[in-house]
């Protein structure tokens, strides 16, 4: 059975976040249109979700479309919108069966109403999922998320629901799109680029970063396993002293 074959011999990170990068290069290397890279990228998403369930990861956050990706040609933007639409429809029954709870994070205000309806429907129909929380970051930007959080806190203060001088870090975390997940333990970026590109700016304050040279459409359970294993060897200090040196 796959479950036992894939299981890790150690405690997995609770929350893995992935910047899925390299779809365009994957297609260009093959002389294919970029959309083919994005389509293959969806296959990699499916493999990653299954592997995350097998590994016992509780939260998986995938960066699918950034607030800056609107700068791309309209045809590519349309393809990416269409792929999310297809994913939340075609994969719904399998995600339910796998016990995956889907949430889409980011600003929905500039997405088309039919796409928002499909996303909301998928969230509602998978709300019972217990195996994995899958957060799809779509029209997501870390600064945009903070902008929206600041506005909601400012509105609450203006209405007298909160005291400005009492706002603490937990209030800010609760006002973010990721309020239902702990901070990512591990952040993976594929394709060899080593930057954050406006992903989870607040939440990755103490995440461990792993950069892999693989292009996203080629990402497999083995790549996820390698990243998780590298994470297991990291020494997280959070600004304090490491366990061995302490005392
Ligand atoms: C990642 O692949 C998917 C999105 C950003 C939507 P890219 O489309 O960025 O691929 P490269 O970086 O051009 O290879
Ligand atoms: C980051 O990739 C966004 C997503 C993976 C959705 P980009 O390809 O857009 O990032 P940059 O432009 O190389 O920083
Ligand atoms: Mg890219």
Q: What is the pLDDT of residues 11-55, one digit of tens each?
A: 899 999 999 999 999 999 999 999 999 999 999 999 999 999 999
Task: Measure 21 CA to ligand 2 centroid, in angstroms.
Answer: 6
pLDDT given at position 153: 98
4: pLDDT strictly greater than 60: no
Q: Which residues line ligand 2 (CB under 6 A)?
A: 19-21, 63-66, 69, 193, 195, 197
What number is the average pLDDT over the span 208-220?
A: 98
Residue nearest to atom 14 of ligand 2 (CA): 197
| 208-211 β-sheet, strand order | 100-105, 132-140, 59-66, 15-19, 186-189, 208-211
The answer to whether 150 and 156 are in contact (CB under 8 A) is: no
CA distance 137 to 18: 10
pLDDT at 244: 62
Atom of ligand 2 nearest to the CA of 69: 9
Per-residue pLDDT, averaged over 188-217, amounts to 98
pTM for the full model? Answer: 0.96
* Pick from 119, 86, 124: nearest CA to 105: 119
Q: Do 184 and 207 contact (CB within 8 A), yes or no?
A: yes
pLDDT digits (tens, 9 = 90+) for 100-159: 999 999 999 999 999 999 999 999 999 999 999 999 999 999 999 999 999 999 999 999
Q: Is the pLDDT of residue 1 over 80?
A: no
What is the percent of the chain where pLDDT is above 70?
A: 96
pLDDT digits (tens, 9 = 90+) for 169-185: 999 999 999 999 999 99
Q: Which residues are catalytic?
A: 21, 69
pLDDT in tens, 63-113: 999 999 999 999 999 999 999 999 999 999 999 999 999 999 999 999 999
Q: Is the CB of 141 under 6 A from ligand 1?
A: no
């Amino acid at each position: 059975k796959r479950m036992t074959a894939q299981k890790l011999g150690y405690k997995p990170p609770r929350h893995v976040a992935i910047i899925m990068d390299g779809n365009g290069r994957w297609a260009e290397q093959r002389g294919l249109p970029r959309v083919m890279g994005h389509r293959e990228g969806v296959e990699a998403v499916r493999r990653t979700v299954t592997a995350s369930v097998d590994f016992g990861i509780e939260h998986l956050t995938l960066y699918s479309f950034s607030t800056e990706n609107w700068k791309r040609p309209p045809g590519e933007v349309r393809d990416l919108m269409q792929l999310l639409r297809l994913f939340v429809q075609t994969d719904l029954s399998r995600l339910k069966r796998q016990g995956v709870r889907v949430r889409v994070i980011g600003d929905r205000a500039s997405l088309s109403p039919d796409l928002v309806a499909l996303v909301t429907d998928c969230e509602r129909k998978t709300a019972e999922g217990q195996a994995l929380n899958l957060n799809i970051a779509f029209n997501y930007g870390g600064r945009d998320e903070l902008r929206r959080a600041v506005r909601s806190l400012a509105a609450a203060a203006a209405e007298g629901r909160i005291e400005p001088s009492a706002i603490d870090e937990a209030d800010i975390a609760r006002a973010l799109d990721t309020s239902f997940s702990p901070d990512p333990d591990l952040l993976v970026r594929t394709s060899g680029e080593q930057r954050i590109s406006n992903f989870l700016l607040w939440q990755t304050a103490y995440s461990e970063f792993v950069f892999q040279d693989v292009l996203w459409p080629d990402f497999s359970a083995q790549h996820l396993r390698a990243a998780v294993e590298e994470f297991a060897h990291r020494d997280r200090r959070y600004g304090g002293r490491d366990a061995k040196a302490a005392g």
